[in-house]
Amino acid sequence: MKPINFTESTLKLGAPKGQEKEIGDLHVYTDKKKCISCWEFTDEEIETLKKTKKIYVGVFSGRTQPPIFLTIDKPFLAEFTRYMELVKKLGMSKRSLSQGEYQEYLKLLEKFQNKS
């Protein structure tokens, strides 16, 4: 799997100083609230993914896991962005969503679950 450039990319992150040989550039879309990168599977990885239906996510941090999301849908759609905002808010506290926001969250959740 390798990171690739994509149409919506707004920023290119470079490797940390001294690690340019081991780490390549990472193109991301950012709206100052989140960064999104695009990764491409090899044919072999696709075959493995078909068999296992699993993907593992690693973060170079030994004590915590920052909030992340994985999707096969383009995350630049307004509904998906709103859904992720609600998920983030919900993650802070179940009481952080108003009744209306919670109902909106449930509708969007159902929509995205039905796509799979």
| pLDDT over 70, % of the chain | 91
Q: Give which of 44, 23, 26, 43 is closest to 35, Cα–Cα.
A: 26
Give how many domains the chain has, as a whole number. Answer: 2
pLDDT at 16: 86
My answer on whether 78 and 104 are in the same domain is: yes
pTM: 0.63
63 part of a folded domain: no
Structural domain including 43 reads 1-56
Helix H or strand E segment including 109: helix 99-114
My answer on whether 49 and 99 are in the same domain is: no
Question: What does the mean pLDDT of the chain come to?
Answer: 84
Q: Picking from 3-17, 38-52, 78-92, which range would have the lowest pLDDT averaged per residue? A: 78-92
Task: Give the span between the Cα atoms of 57 and 70, in whole angstroms.
Answer: 9
- End-to-end alpha-carbon separation of the chain, Å? 22
Contact 4, 40 (CB under 8 A): yes
| pLDDT at residue 37 greater than cutoff 90 | yes
pLDDT 10s digits, 48-101: 999 999 999 988 777 888 888 888 878 777 677 777 778 777 776 667 778 888
